[in-house]
Amino acid sequence: MSVDFKFASLRKQPVPRFMLSPRRILADVLSSGWVESMIPFLAFICVVVGVAVTTQDYFVASNLRNLAQYSADGGLIVLAMLIVVAVGGIDLSVGSNFAMSAFVALFCFHILQLPVPVVLVASLGCGAVIGATNGLLAGLIGCGALLTTLATMITVRGIFTLSSQAQMVEISTSARIDDLWDWIGFEKILTMPIGFWVLLAVAILIFVMFRQSAFGWHVLAVGGNRKAARHGGIRVKVTVFLSYVLTGLIVGLSGFLFAARQNSISADTGIGMEFFVLTALVVGLGGFVPGRGAVVPVLIGFATIYIFNNAMINSGFRGDFVQLCMGAIIILILAIDVKFRKNRHRLLASTYLDPVKVTLAPTRGMAGLMPHEIAPKLALARILGAGQLDGPEDVILDRDGNLYCGNRDGRILKLSGPDHSDISVVAKIGGRPLGLAFDPEGRMVACVAGMGLLRVTLDGAVELLTDQTGRSLLSVQDDTSIRMADDLDIAPDGTIYFTDATKRYDIDNWGLDLLEGRPNGRLLSYDPRTRKTRTVCDNLVFPNGVCITHDGKYLLVASTWSCSILIFDLADLAAGPRIFLDGLPGYPDNINRSSDGGYWIALAGMRNAILDQAMKYPGLRQRMTKRVPPTNWLFGNLNIGGVLKIDGSGRIVDALWDAPDGPLYMITSMREHEGALYLGGVTNDKIGRLQLAYADRQWTSQQSYWGKG
Amino acid sequence: MTLEGVLGPNTVIDDAEGLKVEAPQALCVVDGSRLLISSGNAVLAISRWGDQPQPWCVFDQPVTALSASPAGTVGIGLADGSFSVRDRAGSVLAGWGRPESLASVTDCLFVSEDEIALVDSGYRAGEDILSRAPWDETGRGQVVMINRNGAMRRLAAGLHCPMGLARDADGELIVSLLERAAIVDLAGKVRQPGFPAYLGRVRATESGYLLSCLSRRDPLIEFLKTEAEFVAEMKATIDPRHWISPRAHPEFSHDFPIELGATRLFGEIKPWAPSFSYGLVIATDTAFIPTGSAHSRANGARHAISDTVEWNGDVIAVSRASGEVLRFSFAREAA
């Protein structure tokens, strides 16, 4: 039946280079991580502008240097507090710890006359010991963080007061001078004081820690959900303990910097610091939020409070009035921030779906083949694995006639041939396995929604091939991650072509992509030799099934919501797709080769006049998603599907349907193997096996792709 | 009203005993003992549940309405808007007026032994009233009174899809409206609005009323009523069979639209899934406050309940979807 077609004579499928939609930009901005810090950042800008307008020469270089000089110790303590808050705790003893560490530094420097590096170690050690005490009590033993650190705060303050009173005179009369000590206290690098650079370095380290280190992730996991973290194998108590120690260390460092700069302490050193720091933290984070290691927002919050406080005091306002203003403004910022956070998701939900007008080509080439016109051939199919499978989206057979499918629970299952009644687990992947293919070595390659492209050997070894591709240049949302790897096929040169059906919706919400109707998907390729992933064609409408043509020169790609099959020339992928077949009566899913040189197309659902018309009304779909409960949204009819048989030129030659209420209602994949057609469905719990009257009983997909083997 | 509380889901209709009847539509009880069942062009009779239905009378049109007077006279409405009156043996009683210019007779009720009121929905037989009603704002329905002496007078006009007729406790006639989901009197005054279903016939019982429901209301249809341009295009270009609308049958078809929650899983429709067809009978008190309900949910087959009567202490209902006459009883809310 093999019939040639002329690629150059096929119509070109226009593919947009980018999508310009204000609604989408707003939705993408709202769904970005950094938008969380927007209100603190705006508050910071307001404070800066307000101070700049009302205070002359406040933001001149000399004053900024001055601010940087004195802000380092406060900034470090804010970062220290961030760690302990991120792990789900609190540290009220930071002020006392700060004072004690400063005292230890001065004592070691002036009284014990120790070298400066040793003084630093002593100061850090003091902070770490106090942190370890907190960690021991709050983390390991399990006393409450608030009470523990309150007790430590009082105790350390007592020790500090006693020690400092005994040594204060000696310290203040000490005549020791040390170049390194003075360098740390007063020197500048690139016009900025040492303390500022230390603060910057520590901020970067903590940022990297939260982003890249296992410990940082553990801290966030414990803070986010202690029970889940424990179930995930994280040593929760040790993580909490180490967080307190790290907090203590940073406070110790801050105390050391303070000592080097001030060379003195007083009875009120560090008093009230914990509240100042907590205020900055709460303003930056928009509340007391465990499990969030947001370094930049917290520093912005600190800068807001610090500059506001400093500017008011400099302006000569009374201290109590400054406090009153601070309190009022903080309440205002927090109120706005909380309101914004509360409504952000609502706003995002109401803007995320961004429908567009879609006009589908009318159904054609189906005369005499529609479900009401012919007998339901799939009603003759034998049912395999009934009730033992859960969503076999794709089915595939190896050379020995064993049948494989993915399961909703993340397992790849094997139905051993020839009767396929014995079901065993090949591998546990964890994601949602969709498309499957065998490579020339007989290994299975699987598209896994939410994970990417994986390779599975038949002895159960799982290897991630790729889960990222290049970022689109003109997209607000970071689209490097492969969100919904759907189907794949392997070219004769070994290159794997696969689809990322939608970049905007997860497997659970893939139907929303239909209501949106935008080209949100992409065709990707992975070269096993170079291990490189490439975006072959972006902005396709739900690219789904992928099939290399029999001659190995072209690539067929099902565009599900367009009800069409696209074709790419493998020798010139940059030329873009052409339309191989459109006006299908339903939503095409996987495409696979047939033994007679044609192809099988799975139809996951059927078009109907009402939905086709609704696709021309984007405003209606938008309003519907706002006013109608999701369960009542108008949707594609996925309760009836089938299989189309096309010849090599793209002409529909047969259609296989089940009875309207039959068990093989939604077909997402089919494979021909030795004269039988195996049928899978992503919402079904069974596989169908239909004996084909006109098929080559020797033909297998494996041989078609890779020869006799 | 929503399908909660006493209207909350159950499987009473799905669990009911059923009697297969071809194309059933209407019921009535004659002399308090014999049940007449319309079946296409015929009317069948049974004297006891479990008996084989016996032919009672045959007409040249589908029978669309049945009513019996206390004396045993039977009024029969036909699909072409014509009307016949028979005695209890099925013999024609001459002299009754012939209604003119009625599109159909959807229900009838003897007001006295000499007068019978007929309800005309305004839709002809063959016009799928369920498909069209949500998208038609024109009130074409009427209620007419036919007298034994041949006189006919119009009691009410301009009603929107009237389906059933009953008498309230004061003897005044009340009408159930399909799409407006309300009970009104002949002056058009609303007695009870807001039923969660497309109403079929209303029948007075000793404790109140029984409301047969052809389907339940659907948020998507209610929403689309606000989309005038879309509806206009739908009406202009699409066959009414494929419109978004309540349906009588829960069938799967490749060319029907569905709602997102109605997607099959493992081949099954979940009972709580949205559906355009539904089986529901609502029992109310005399103030039309629901006191009980019987359901055939989205995964059931006994949808489109077109008529309900009380017979020998049971509720007898007609499911147009399954082609059955059903017998059940439901516990009502304690008074």
> What pLDDT, in 10s, does the model give residues A386-417?
999 999 999 999 999 999 999 999 999 999 98
Q: What is the mean pLDDT of residues A567-593?
A: 96
Q: Answer yes or no: is B204 within a domain.
A: yes
Distances (CA, A) of B91 to A478, B53, B57, B267: 81, 19, 8, 51
Name every chain A residue with its beta carbon within 8 A of the beta carbon of B261: 630-632
Provide the percentage of residues in chain A whose pLDDT is more than 90: 69
Cβ contact B254–A637 (<8 Å): yes
pLDDT of B296 higher than 50: yes
Establish, for the pair of chains A and B, how many residue pairs have beta carbons separated by less than 8 Å. Answer: 116
HEC string of A584-599 equals CCEEEEEEEECCCCCE
Q: How many CB atoms lie within 10 A of CB A535?
A: 17
Mean of all residue pLDDT scores within chain A: 91
Name every chain B residue with its beta carbon within 8 A of the beta carbon of A660: 251-254
Q: What is the mean pLDDT of residues B26-32?
A: 93
Confidence class for position B332, pLDDT limits 50, 70, 90: very low
Q: What is the mean pLDDT of residues A543-565?
A: 96
pLDDT of A6 higher than 60: yes
Provide the percentage of residues in chain B whose pLDDT is more than 90: 82
CATH H-level superfamily of A371-706:
TolB, C-terminal domain (2.120.10.30)
pLDDT of B234 higher than 60: yes
Lowest pLDDT segment from A53-62, A619-628, B47-56: A53-62
pLDDT of A56 higher than 90: no
Cβ contact A637–B223 (<8 Å): no
pLDDT for position A285: 84
Q: Answer yes or no: is B125 within a domain.
A: yes
Q: Where are the CATH 2.120.10.30 domain residues in chain A?
A: 371-706
Q: Answer yes or no: is B154 within a domain.
A: yes
Task: Count the helix, strand and coil residues of chain B and give each as a percent rounded to the nearest 5.
Answer: 10, 40, 50
B60 touches chain A (CB under 8 A): no
pLDDT for position A507: 84
Q: What is the mean pLDDT of residues A181-193?
A: 87
pLDDT for position B269: 92
Q: What is the CATH classification number for the domain harbouring B198?
A: 2.120.10.30
How near does any CA of chain A get to the CA of B266, in Å? 4
Q: Answer yes or no: is B281 within a domain.
A: yes
Please tell me whether the peptide bond between A418 and the residue prior to it is cis, using omega within 30 degrees of 0.
yes
How near does any CA of chain A get to the CA of B60, in Å? 31
Name every chain B residue with its beta carbon within 8 A of the beta carbon of A611: 257
Nearest to A617 among B230, B239, B242 (CB): B230
How near does any CA of chain B get to the CA of A529, in Å? 40
pLDDT for position A171: 85
Residue of B258, B259, B268, B275 to mutate, testing the A interface (most A Cβ within 10 Å of its Cβ): B258
Q: What is the mean pLDDT of residues A93-103?
A: 95
pLDDT of A229 higher than 90: yes
Mean of all residue pLDDT scores within chain B: 92
Confidence class for position A667, pLDDT limits 50, 70, 90: very high
Q: What is the mean pLDDT of residues A345-355?
A: 83
Q: Answer yes or no: is B335 within a domain.
A: no
Q: Which residue has the tokens 């940073």?
A: A250
pLDDT of B331 higher than 70: no
Closest to B214 (Cα-Cα) out of B131, B270, B149, B152: B131
Total structural domains in chain B? 1
How near does any CA of chain A get to the CA of B96, in Å? 46
Q: What is the mean pLDDT of residues A428-451?
A: 94
Q: What is the mean pLDDT of residues A556-571?
A: 96
pLDDT for position B333: 41
Nearest residue in B to A657, CA atom: B254
Nearest residue in B to A624, CA atom: B223
pLDDT for position A709: 61
Q: What is the mean pLDDT of residues A632-640?
A: 92
pLDDT for position B62: 94
Nearest residue in A to B269, CA atom: A639
Fold that domain A22-348 belongs to in CATH? ABC transporter involved in vitamin B12 uptake, BtuC (1.10.3470)
Q: What is the mean pLDDT of residues A598-621?
A: 95
Looking at chain B from residue 228 to 247, which residues have their Cβ under 8 Å from any Cβ of chain A? 229-230, 233-234, 237-239, 242-244
pLDDT for position A62: 86
Pairing of strands A554-559, A564-569: antiparallel
Name every chain B residue with its beta carbon within 8 A of the beta carbon of A636: 258
Residue-wise pLDDT for B30-52, tens only, equals: 998 899 999 999 999 999 999 99
Q: Residue type at B287?
A: A
Can you give the residue range of the structural domain that contains B98? 5-328
ipTM over 0.95? The verdict is: no
B268 touches chain A (CB under 8 A): no
Show the beta-strand stretches assigned E in B121-253: 141-147, 152-159, 162-167, 173-177, 182-185, 190-192, 197-204, 209-216
pLDDT for position A386: 92
Nearest to B257 among A585, A634, A657 (CB): A634
Q: Which residue has the tokens 């059931």?
A: B300
pLDDT for position A40: 81
Closest to A178 (Cα-Cα) out of A254, A131, A219, A119: A119
Closest to A610 (Cα-Cα) out of B253, B263, B277: B253
Q: How many CB atoms lie within 10 A of CB A413?
A: 22
Confidence class for position B229, pLDDT limits 50, 70, 90: very high
pLDDT for position A652: 96
Q: Where are the CATH 1.10.3470 domain residues in chain A?
A: 22-348
pLDDT of A428 higher than 90: yes
How near does any CA of chain B get to the CA of A643, in Å? 13
Confidence class for position B259, pLDDT limits 50, 70, 90: very high
Return the top range by mean pLDDT from A283-297, A358-372, B113-127.
A358-372
Q: Which residue has the tokens 């009035």?
A: A321
What letters, b where the CB count within 10 A reaches 16 and e where it falls short, cover A425-435? ebbebebbbbb
In contact, A72 and A260? CB cutoff 8 Å: no
Q: What is the Cα–Cα distance from B293 to B216, expressed in whole angstroms? A: 13
Q: What is the mean pLDDT of residues A80-86?
A: 95
Q: Given phi > 0 = left and psi -120 to 50 = alpha, else beta, which region is A278?
A: alpha
B219 touches chain A (CB under 8 A): yes
If DSSP codes are grouped into helix, strand and coil, which group holds residue A560? helix
